Structure 1
Amino acid sequence: MLVDSHCHLDFPDFADDLDGIVARADAAGIGRILTISTRVRRLGELLNIAGRYPNVYCSVGTHPHHADEEDGIPSDELIELTRHPKVVALGEAGLDNFYDNGSPEAQERGFRAHIAAARATGLPLVIHTREADEGCGRILEDEMQKGSFRAVLHCYTGGRELAMKAISLGLSISFTGILTFKKSQALRDLAAELPADRIMVETDAPYLAPGKFRGKRNEPSYVVEIARVLAETRGVSLEEISRQTTENFFRLFSKVPAA
């Protein structure tokens, strides 16, 4: 069994094909799908989707691109929203310096509010960090001193220093189809080095389709291709990487019922 630990089933790309997407994922051996929130105010849409499919769960959070739009949402509100049985994580939240979306100040405020909610609930935080290694590392270290919390750096494309800092803080790292791209050798080298109990796979669908599907709309069933490349990178079998990443998922996202 494999798990797609991060996708976006509420995005318009999937509106007319949800039944097919979930069915293809099931046929490919994808036992759980985690569809990730990008706007707290649109959580209802995610809950409607998660409610339709037994193996689909969701998070609640504000993507840094929407940090100004949802600036000021307190951690107490996030905590309350996690009481729904299908909400199993916070985020995605974090820092993004690649696009000029979301002011740095609002991004940091939102990031810290999500960390506080993760700390209070014990649920993991899904962290988005892009071109923001220094700032992300600083906030993670600062917040961890206030009290421990669980998290995963999703769609990892940062440097080795941030990855190792995250590992030292007890966090996890997740890889997308970027791992399969020809120009991603440095990322594969990092993936080979990380502890086996801290790695996961995801699609980030509808974006970043892996390998032979590149250029097409991504979907959860394609997580198998990412797992295959991760297995090759680490010199283990697909079966072993499937077992390990799935075990890691259920340990981190412990609110999701295990298979």
Structure 2
Amino acid sequence: MGLQGKTVLVTGGSGGIGRELVRAFGAEGARVAFTYHRDDDTARRLEQDGNGRVRALRHRLDEEGGAGRILRAVTEWAGPVDVLVNNALFQPENPELQVCDLAASPWRDMLRWNIEPAVEFSSAALRQMRKTGWGRIIQVSSSLVSQGKAGFEFYGAAKSALHGFNRSLAFSAGRSGDILCNVVVLGLTRTENNEVKPWFPEYRAEFLAGSPLGRLADAAQVSKMVVVLGSAANQVMTGQEIHLSSGTVGK
């Protein structure tokens, strides 16, 4: 894949998909830094399993100047970022927010923290990639953008904004060297975290009803495809939305 010795940054690296992204890039010989919010135990395990080639960095999505701080820490540890995967998301305990009762839901936070950090990390990483002439930026999105679901108006809006941002980012980045920017669109994915959530059985049934494969992708399978997009094996795909959702793209 041409990732041996490359520096990868995965935001939200301690979650169900995030930890598989860290492992998948690490398996290709990359040095992988990842951000996490509060799961110290998982962060420490990932570092230990990485044998010195994985670094955990605590970060809050609402941290002022956080993207710059993280990029500086990664650069000091392993050099400029070659691959950025914006995987972190903001999600309240109850994922469904009521659009008719704005006063009772953190809807502004849902909008801000699911787009602004991705913009900031992309900007900071692109500055480094322009200097080296090579880079891959991957935004992690959701099939809810096209499927829709009651209660996910704000999350869907934020992720839709991410698609628009990335499309133009690809033009800005592509004129600066071999720098490619794509969105991966995930459906409901089987992870250790998701399978214990009370809403999982209902969501699983809804998702499978529209899936040609009749099954969910798991986090390890999805992560392998992200690695391909973030590697030297990808030489032409940029500005695209790649669905990794077991074939479910809409109702």
TM-score under structure 1 length normalisation: 0.39
- Scaled by the length of structure 2, what TM-score is found? 0.40
More helix by share: 1
